[in-house]
Amino acid sequence: MSDQLLTAPAPAPARSFLSGPLPVLLAAVLWGTTGTAASFAPAGASPLSIGAATVGIGGILLLAVAGRSALPVLRSGRTGLLVVGALAVAVYPLAFYSSMALAGVAIGTVVTLGSAPVFAAILERVVDGVRLDRRWALAAAVSVLGLLLITGGGETGVGTDAVLGALLGLVGGAAYVVYSWAAARMMRGGQGSRAVMGAMFGTGAVVLLPVLVFTGGSLFGSASGLVVAGYLAVIPMGLAYMLFGAGLRQTSTSVATTLSLLEPVVAALLSVLVVGERLGVASWCGVGLIGVGLVLVSTRR
């Protein structure tokens, strides 16, 4: 018996990484392609139409993939969590894309994604009573500093539009955290990740589709707009949020939102390789800092 105990395999840390942080990181990589993809949209396409198409159509796809498994979620006693999450799903793309349109990609990205770990920490501390350790705080601080370095080198305005865009970015960051928290809580209550994501995003799509009807004329009026909308709905929305939902089952909201800071790193690399933009030394240092933060938070026990 003692020999069997000595030779029994210990739980593999790699397994917890593969089931938790890794799917979230893969989702962040796919999200990082949205800016490059959206740059190929017709010139007249509004940020509201792009956001509504991405999450509205993508939400319907997630609901279709979930199929009948989403029905128990829709009928469960946790409809309050579902409604809160679905409203946050609808708010996020409208606020995020509008923030970038008003304040520029730099300010919009920094405020939205950089504020998410802070909102997550506050939410988990106030609602769930979770105590966040120093390792998480260090990872979040290093990653947010990296974000500031990546996007801080460009010329951005400081007028009324920039201020309004920054405020919308805060709204987007808070919405992202709220639906992540609501989804994680429902999953830990016994619901499947695919069912929860399908029900939540499908319900959010009900709110977004009317917005798409009124604003999507320019986006759907050309072949390029259809291709862009299709890609955004299927890959960064449908596939990425399936991965994100799977990762949320094994990852706290605060860790997941910090891991998602990989998104602007991918966006920066694609802007260089595909769009042809150039990054300065400070931006590349920011990429490195976010990499350090991701290692810290993804290996956190």
pLDDT one-digit tens code per residue, 120-169: 878 877 887 777 778 778 877 887 787 777 666 544 444 567 678 878 98
Asked whether residue 14 is domain-assigned, the answer is: no
Return the axis-axis angle of helices 160-188 and 193-215, rounded to nearest 10°: 150
Asked whether residue 233 is domain-assigned, the answer is: yes
Give the residue-averaged pLDDT of 267-285: 74
Asked whether residue 8 is domain-assigned, the answer is: no
pLDDT at 74: 83
Indicate the helix (H) or strand (E) that contains 282: helix 281-298
pLDDT at 45: 86
Cα dihedral across residues 279, 283, 284, 290: positive or negative: negative
Asked whether residue 15 is domain-assigned, the answer is: no
Per residue in 49-93, pLDDT (tens digit) is 999 998 999 999 999 988 888 888 888 766 788 999 999 999 999
Asked whether residue 238 is domain-assigned, the answer is: yes
Per residue in 235-245, pLDDT (tens digit) is 988 888 888 88
Q: Is 10 helix (H, G, I), strand (E, B) or coil?
A: coil
CA distances from 14 to 18, 20, 23 (A): 6, 10, 13
* Residues 233-272: b if buried by 16+ CB within 10 A, e if exposed: bebbbbbbbbbbbbbbbbbbbbbbbbbbbbbbbbbbebbe
Interatomic CA distance for residues 134 and 58, integer angstroms: 37
Domain with 181 in it: 23-298
pLDDT at 235: 92
Per residue in 166-206, pLDDT (tens digit) is 789 889 989 999 998 898 888 887 788 888 989 999 999 99
pLDDT at 14: 55
pTM attached to this predicted model: 0.78
- Output the average pLDDT for the chain: 79
Asked whether residue 289 is domain-assigned, the answer is: yes
Asked whether residue 250 is domain-assigned, the answer is: yes
Asked whether residue 160 is domain-assigned, the answer is: yes
The number of distinct structural domains making up the chain is 1
